[in-house]
Amino acid sequence: MTTEDPPPIRRLADWDPAQLRDLAAEYDTPLYVLDQGRVRENVANLQTAFHDEHVSYAVKANTVRRTLETVEDAGLDAECASAGEVQRAVDAGFSTVRYTAVNPPSEDLDHVVALHEAHPEIDLVVTIGAVDTLDALVERDYAGPLAIRVNPGVGAGHHAKVTTGDAPKFGVPYDRVPDLADEIVERGYDLVGLHAHAGSGIHGEDDLAAHRELVARMGDLARDLDHDLDFLNVGGGLGVPYHPEQDPLDLDAVAEATRDAAGDLDAQLGIEPGRYVVADAGVLLTTVNTVKPTPETTVVGVDAGMTTLLRPAMYDAYHEIRSLADDADDRDEVTAMVAGPICETADVLGRDRRLPRPECRDVFAIGNAGAYGYEMASTYNSRPRPAVVSLDGTGETSVAVERETLSDLTRLEGQQ
Residue numbers in the known binding site are: 237, 272-275, 311, 315, 344, 372
Please give the Cα distance from 414 to 142 (Å, whole number): 36
> Which among 311, 232, 237 has a CA at the least distance from the CA of 274?
237
Which positions make up the binding site for substrate? Answer: 275, 311, 315, 344, 372
Region of residue 316 (left: phi > 0; alpha: psi -120 to 50; beta: else): left
- Exactly one of 343, 412, 414, 416 is catalytic; name it: 343
Q: Does 80 qualify as catalytic in the annotation?
A: no
- Does the bond joining 30 to the residue before it have cis omega, within 30 degrees of 0? yes
Please give the Cα distance from 120 to 107 (Å, whole number): 20
Please give the Cα distance from 402 to 416 (Å, whole number): 27
Supply φ then ψ for residue 99, to 5 degrees: -110, 110
Alpha-carbon distances, residue 97 vs 89, 146, 229, 270, 328 (angstroms): 7, 12, 17, 13, 46
- Return the DSSP state at 188: T
Supply φ then ψ for residue 283, to 5 degrees: -130, 155
Active site residues per annotation: 343
